[in-house]
Chain A
Amino acid sequence: MKKVTPAYEFSKGIWKENPILVQLLGMCPTLAVTSTVINGVAMALATSFVLIMSSLIISLLRKIIPSSVRIASFIVVIATFVTLVDSFLKAYFYDISKALGPFIPLIIVNCLILGRQEAFASKNTVKRSLLDAFGMGVGFFLSLLVLSTVREILGFGTWFGIQVMPDLFNPWMVMIMAPGAFLTLGIMLGAYGIFKGKKSRGV
């Protein structure tokens, strides 16, 4: 087995194995809630929190959980943290919770989280699993930040709700609708591909 440094365990989620750009996991919230930056950021933070906490618990319990009930155990752990986040947002960030609506409970079935438990946390030490979860969380956060920035600026002319485009700018309605999400994500994936291709060819 190839030796992997802890630094790589963290950084791979940000670029080389970015959950959105490379693994294409967790597409549903990515596309649905990124019409404004505040929603995208809140979603990414909530998802990262659940991912990190679940990875911690699962890697701690990895020797105790029998493999035949592992998926069920992962889901119970994930669902617990999601419900916790949901209650927390409802109590302390009521407006954000209203804006994100059903997408918070749906973090439970976000395949990024379940995928990391199955592929990583259940097979690695607590330290490595936490590094992996943090890295994936940061990668998810950055991707959603870029996606929602493009969409909010073009779709509303604002960034974090602050006017950034001149008054003459006519917002592109399509950017805040579903097609805008697909278009932006497609362009991001394409740009990533071009960049990576160039690098590997040494151009």
Chain B
Amino acid sequence: MKMSETLRMVIVLTSISIISGASLAVVDSVTKTRVNLNKQSALNKGLKRLMPEAGNFKKEDINNNGKIIAVYRAVKGNTLMGWGFHLKGPGFSDKIEIIAAVNPKITRLLGIEVLEQKETPGLGDNMKKESFREQFKGLFVNRKIEFIKNRIPEKGSNKIQAMAAATYSTRYLLDIINDNIKKIRHMKKIRHIIGGEK
């Protein structure tokens, strides 16, 4: 009697798991393409908003010590209009994913778009707001971008005003931009294109 009870346990749990696994596999195969499509279309829309005059975005993956950064070359005909970097990094709550658009020489920001973030509602997630993001336009990326609190920074100081009560979210966002773009600028492949100036 004891044996059959154990056997029953094994059979029932195994069957439930198999059925569950199979149905999830089916659902995944149905939704997978759409999920990826949604992500890609959010990315494309972001690139287009940041660099509206570019006709085409050519994707290249660059390898940064095993970490892949997706780089989009914005071109119009044969001229390079700028670059879009798909950057990821830790935030205050969870991973932050952004697009940073820069000029062809990779010296100044054209703007940023936030793709994914789970910062505090009403505070850190204000990074999605246009009023916060537009501060990034024209900032230099060949030096560090910094932030100050509670007042508007002077012109040319390469600073932004931090989000109110979300200093950490601001700091994490700036780290993602500063660290990644610095690394990208120092890559051989990129330096070859933008010219050697440091």
Contacts and interface: CB of A to CB of B under 8 A. Distances in A.
Given A35-B122, A79-B20, A101-B118, A87 B31 contact: yes
A177 B8 CA distance: 49
B38 A80 contact: no
Interface in B1-24: 5, 8-9, 12-13, 16-17, 20, 23-24
Q: What is the interface of chain A mostly: helix, strand, loop, or mixed?
A: helix
Contact of A173 (B34, B38, B122): B122
Interface string A97-136: 0100110000000000000000000000000000000000
14 contacts: A36-B121, A64-B12, A66-B5, A66-B8, A76-B16, A76-B20, A77-B16, A84-B24, A88-B31, A90-B31, A91-B38, A92-B34, A94-B38, A98-B116
B35 A177 contact: no
A68 B9 CA distance: 8
B27 interface: yes
A170 to B, nearest CB: 13
Interface in A127-176: 155-156, 173, 176
B94 A102 contact: yes
A69 B20 contact: no
Contact of B35 (A68, A69, A90, A102): A90
A66 B12 contact: yes
B120 interface: yes
Interface of B: 5, 8-9, 12-13, 16-17, 20, 23-24, 27-28, 30-31, 34-35, 38, 42, 94, 116, 118, 120-123
Nearest to B26: A84
Given A87-B27, A87-B28, A101 B94 contact: yes
Interface of A: 35-36, 61, 64-66, 68-69, 72-73, 76-77, 79-80, 83-84, 87-88, 90-92, 94, 98, 101-102, 155-156, 173, 176-177
B42 to A, nearest CB: 7
Contacts of A101: 94, 118
A134 B13 CA distance: 27
Given A155-B122, A176-B121, A77 B20 contact: yes
* Most chain A CB inside 10 Å of its own CB: which residue of B13, B16, B94: B16
A79 B114 CA distance: 30
A94 B42 contact: yes
Contacts of B123: 177
A32 B42 CA distance: 26
Contact of B118 (A68, A102, A176): A102
Nearest to A155: B122
A155 B123 CA distance: 12
A87 B33 CA distance: 11
Contacts of A94: 35, 38, 42
Among all A-B residue pairs, the 10 with the closest Cβ atoms:
A91-B31, A91-B34, A80-B20, A94-B38, A176-B122, A87-B31, A90-B35, A101-B118, A66-B9, A35-B121
Contacts of A177: 120-123
Given A64-B12, A102-B94, A176-B121, 12 more contacts: A61-B16, A65-B12, A68-B9, A73-B12, A77-B16, A79-B20, A84-B27, A90-B31, A91-B38, A101-B118, A156-B122, A177-B123
B36 to A, nearest CB: 10
B38 A76 contact: no
Given A94-B38, A173-B122, A176-B121, A69 B24 contact: no
Contacts of B122: 35, 155-156, 173, 176-177
Contacts of A87: 27-28, 31, 35
Contacts of A72: 13
Nearest to B20: A80
